Amino acid sequence: MLKKHFIIIAFLSIFIAVGSISPAFASSQLEVTIEPNSNVAFAKMTYQRSINIDYSDGGNLAESMPGTFSKIAFHADSSDPGMQSLIAKLNSYIVSKGSQANISDLTLDYKTTLTGRATSMSVDYSVILRPTIENFVIKVGSGNSPTLIDVDWRGFGVLGPVVLSTPTYGDVEINLPISSFEKFVPALGLSLKSSDAGELLNTRLMNGDEIKEQPLGNWHFLFDPTGIQVDASQWGLSSAISGSVTSSFTMGESSIREGQIREQVHQASFNSDKVYQITSFESSGNAGIQVIGFANRDVLGNSEIFGVTPTPPEGYASTSTGEFPAFILYGMAGMAALGGAAMMFMSKRKLAKEKGHYNQTGIDPTQLTGVATSTSSGGYQTVRGEAQVKGLDDYDQHRSYYDDDKPQVEEKSEDKPASTRGALPKGFKPKK
């Protein structure tokens, strides 16, 4: 008994410890489909953050910021000034994570807005990168030999400031939150930069470390053979995966393996005319990687990789939680059937023991007969009646008021004087 209690306590301790793990200071969402045969993948990485300054207790900001709105939004591609420098910084970051892959092309959508409200102001950030990933194939497979794919690049980001030249807004720094404050409200930005909130506002936006630091073994795996069906196109599958099976890996769900995923909130303060509270909000990181083919997670040296084959191993059975042998499913179904049979057997034995408590008592239904109880107000027989024991003659107590022989409606008669005149024929007219 003591051993059992110890095991339970140990399990709960592990659960609490894992659940209390906080994610890194980052918010990133990755979407990518990998085609091993092409050695080229088109990804989408989104970085988002919102910073709020509260001035509900008054102050200069409460007088100047309500009703204020400013916005910077633009699109850029690899031909725009500053984009090649951004690509170089991204590739440098990927190399630092032990990956051989690189970004060959890139488009960007940037948006930041400042909104002043009655009691607070907020600055919202959104950076969307659409890179072309190349050179992630480590070894090309053949036959039963899988193609090895590098995925250490999945948490890419950028260190330090990133400045892009735009025709509308001039030079715009897109990686450090403090830059938007300096652009929208220069005086406030200067105060913030030199305050205790400076570190919070200089934390980079383009940070995908949370995706990289979550081991692939903790991601949820789903194998989908739909693509090999003849009529797969009618289900909206793209032509890129026609005739192929697909493997999907996703992260971002709270579990014992991944830890408790929650919104990231960080606070700081700065002193201007008074002390103001600053709060940074970010959603948790999440990612979805789709591989064309059957992908198996593996480790090569210090790197995590996928081993991809066109078809799954013979006899493979899987659920959304990973490899799950089919015989376990059948075994669980069999145990459920045995449990149901045992419950039915026990219920039957219990009913047999308590049979005497459920024997019918009272009048035998075969000894009952139907007896009419009344007629309607119009004088015809209705179907109304009641049950009576056969041979029971004393029925007066059951008689209805309507069974008495008396008129249902009292007829009234009036004395009319007798006429001494005869009837005239129809159409008779007196002669003039």
What are the tens digits of pLDDT across the range 263-311?
A: 788 999 988 889 999 999 988 888 999 999 999 999 988 899 999 998 8
Kindly tell me if the per-residue pLDDT of 7 is higher than 60.
Answer: no
pLDDT of residue 111: 97
Other Cβ atoms within 10 Å of 161 Cβ, number: 14
Query: pLDDT tens, 376-399?
Result: 555 555 556 666 667 665 555 555
Residue with tokens 């890194």: 24
300/314: higher pLDDT: 300
Long-range contact pairs involving 103-106 (C-beta distance under 8 Å, separation at least 24): 103/131, 103/132, 103/133, 103/134, 103/156, 104/132, 104/133, 104/134, 105/78, 105/131, 105/132, 106/77, 106/78, 106/130, 106/131, 106/132
Give percent of the chain above pLDDT 90: 46
Give the residue-averaged pLDDT of 185-194.
91
Going by pLDDT thresholds of 50, 70 and 90, the confidence category of residue 19 is: very low
DSSP assigned state of 194: T
Residue with tokens 């599958």: 237
Q: Which of 152, 138, 147 is nearest to 99 (CA)?
A: 152
Instruction: For residues 317 and 314, give the distance between their C-alpha atoms in angstroms, rounded to a whole number.
Output: 9
The residues, ordered by sequence, that sit 6+ positions from 133 with a Cβ below 8 Å of its Cβ are 32, 40, 41, 42, 43, 101, 102, 103, 104, 153
410/65: higher pLDDT: 65
DSSP assigned state of 399: -
Kindly tell me if the per-residue pLDDT of 170 is higher than 90.
Answer: yes
